[in-house]
Amino acid sequence: MSEEKNSGCSGNCSSCSSSCSSRDPKSLIEPTGEYNNIKHVVGVMSGKGGVGKSMTTSMLAVLMNRMGYKVGILDADITGPSIPKTFGINSRAMQNELGILPAETKTGIKIMSINLLLQEKDSPVVWRGPVIAGAVKQFWHDVVWGDLDFLFIDCPPGTGDVPLTVFQSIPLDCTVIVTSPQDLVSLIVKKAYNMAKMMNIEVLGMVENMSYVVCPDCKKEFHIFGQGSEGIAEELGIPLLAKMPIDTSLAQMVDNGAFEHFDCTYLDNAAKEIEKLMHK
């Protein structure tokens, strides 16, 4: 992938798209808007879609908000945005002379998502990669986030154009990788991990979602997708921060837009790890 230094090298990576071996992966980082003061940015990523990345993002945001921090969620999953629905937000984003104003959930979490800008919520976003990537960048610098302790980025799944833009243009403090305990997903998780490493972004740890299901009658745990991601976390040298079961009450809360009211402790440990960023 990497090339030798371009013969016409100006020494300024920020205005060049060559992928030379000497390129600093963070040289394309963009500043956020002048009205924003964002202390920590945490990316939530996954190797593939459908493993519960958005649910994990939402739960971590709610937990940090419950701890008293000022929290926002940038929904960078442009082609599969689910954050507004999770929080029951049906309004459209407003704009004033300072920029685009994020929506606010009932408990004060700030949200920006493409679904707040579309006329019809069910219109597909049929855009090419660079246009989608441009929207993500706009969410980073044109949205008036104000003062935030934590901005969570619900990254697009995979390792394509748009996740690359997120990693290159937004100064992430760290990422959390969400996976499910299937061999296939675990394989793809390594790609996500390697991508973060290539971009010099710390991987805080892994959240294993859909780890098991508890029988409502006998309370026994069934590991329907197989046994655990400990092996892969160990292999990659990162902590397994949490194991979250398939919990139908969570899915219902998402569907009813009432996710802020969840009452479970699955990701408490992960939230405590994220809180440590405040003391770094």
What letter does residue 14 receive in the DSSP assignment?
A: G
Q: What is the DSSP string of 34-91?
A: TT-EEEEEEEEEESSTTSSHHHHHHHHHHHHHHTT--EEEEE--TTS--HHHHTT--S
- Single out the segment in contact with ligand ADP by CB under 6 A; choices: 2-10, 31-39, 144-152, 248-256: 248-256
Q: Say whether residue 247 binds ligand ADP (CB under 6 A).
A: yes
* Binds ligand ADP by CB under 6 A, chosen from 27, 34, 50, 265: 50
Cα separation of 265 and 121, whole Å?
Answer: 32
Q: Say whether residue 244 binds ligand ADP (CB under 6 A).
A: yes
* Binds ligand ADP by CB under 6 A, chosen from 13, 16, 199, 246: 246
How many H helices and E strands in the chain?
8, 12
The residue (of 23 and 156) whose beta carbon lies closer to ligand ADP is 156
Say which residue the tokens 């029988």 belong to: 215
Query: H-type helices in the chain, by residue range?
Result: 53-66, 83-86, 129-141, 161-169, 183-198, 230-236, 248-255, 268-275
Q: Which residues does residue 243 pair with via DSSP β-bridges, in sequence order?
A: 208
CA distances from 233 to 63, 115, 208, 240, 241 (A): 23, 34, 10, 6, 10
* Binds ligand ADP by CB under 6 A, chosen from 32, 36, 46, 165: 46
Q: Say whether residue 160 binds ligand ADP (CB under 6 A).
A: no
The residue (of 32 and 115) whose beta carbon lies closer to ligand ADP is 115
Single-letter amino acid, residue 186: S
User: x-or-dash pattern for ligand ADP, window 195-234, by CB under 6 A?
Assistant: --------------xx------------------------
- Single out the segment in contact with ligand ADP by CB under 6 A; choices: 23-31, 52-60, 90-98, 187-195: 52-60
> Largest alpha-carbon pair distance within the chain?
69
Q: Say whether residue 118 binds ligand ADP (CB under 6 A).
A: no
The residue (of 147 and 221) whose beta carbon lies closer to ligand ADP is 221
Minimum separation from the CB atom of position 22 to ligand ADP (A): 35
Q: What residue ranges bind ligand ADP (CB under 6 A)?
A: 46, 49-55, 82, 209-210, 244, 246-247, 250-251, 254
